[in-house]
Amino acid sequence: HAKSADVRWILATAGALPFGEAHFDGALCTLAIHHFPDMAAAFAEIRRVIARGRFTLFTASREQMRGYWLNHYFPKAMDFAIRQMPDLPDVMNALSQAGFVNAEREPYAVTPDLQDLFLYAGKHRPKLYLDPQVRAGISTFAMTSNIDEITTGLHRLAKDIETGGIDGVRQSFDHDLGDYLFITADTHPAA
């Protein structure tokens, strides 16, 4: 789809937003905090531009990511991706230090009909990972320097899809932590 002409796109970094104080009623951050060079500074800046409202993060914890069956096929790439993720206590502490209150977490499990194509979007549709265009939009694959592991992992995945072996691999990674997290935090205590 083409970008809407009704939306004004602004390029900026989370640590230096080009907006005045209390400019927005809320903020949403989707699968990005692992790319922030300074998460605490970014959260403080996001807090600065929110008036009275909520900050919602969509992210994954390291523990959740260790439960992705992708670890079976791409262990080094996944290890790198997992190490990039901030520890959950650090996220919660950075929110508090930035002035957010009432932080809550809610696990999210990827569903088979998911439309977006982020890292674990193919949880129920393993064939998605065989598509180079899908992988190009996922930083774990697009930014890896270990092409040999990706190539080998893709061959193993394709074979397991063909033989049905993928079902056993997926079952061996079943867990109850959820696949991702919604984290919400308010700018002011509840009245």
pLDDT digits (tens, 9 = 90+) for 124-144: 999 999 999 999 999 899 887
Q: Say which CATH superfamily domain 24-186 falls into.
A: Vaccinia Virus protein VP39 (3.40.50.150)
All structural domains of the chain with their residue ranges = 24-186
What's the whole-number mean pLDDT along residues 19-47? 95
- Which amino acid is located at 131 in the chain? D
| pLDDT given at position 108 | 97
pLDDT digits (tens, 9 = 90+) for 90-126: 999 999 999 999 999 999 999 999 988 999 999 999 9
This prediction has a pTM of 0.88
Percentage of residues of the chain with pLDDT beyond 70 = 98
- Give the distance from CA 14 to its chain's centroid: 16
User: Please, which pLDDT band fits residue 41 given cuts at 50, 70 and 90?
Assistant: very high
